[in-house]
Amino acid sequence: MSARAAAEGWAAQALMPHRRALGKKAVDQLAESELGRLALRGELEPVLATAGADYARHWRGYIANLCAESL
């Protein structure tokens, strides 16, 4: 990826509505989720954001297992 393409990608990320209020932190990967945005704003400890993301991942797996077809 060229430096220009990377800069354009970062600029596009910074303009997304859910990232706009974060300023320079808008290009951080954490800005993609609500828990991550709370951590970036300092309203939630980063370890709690990670724990919440892990819980959500496990919950989605559990629900997917319930909805799976029986063999």
Helix spans in the chain (H): 3-15, 34-40, 46-67
Q: What is the pLDDT of residue 47?
A: 94
DSSP state of 71: -
φ/ψ of 44, rounded to 5, equals -145, 140
Per-residue pLDDT of the chain (71 residues; tens, 9 = 90+): 566 555 555 566 666 666 767 777 777 778 778 898 889 889 999 899 999 999 999 999 999 999 888 66
Domain ranges of the chain: 3-67
Which residues lie closer than 8 Å to 20 by C-beta, 6 or more apart?
14, 26
Q: What is the pLDDT of residue 21?
A: 73
Residue 26's region, left for phi above 0, alpha for psi from -120 to 50, else beta, is alpha
- Model pTM? 0.63
Q: Which two tokens stand for residue 33?
A: 């989720």
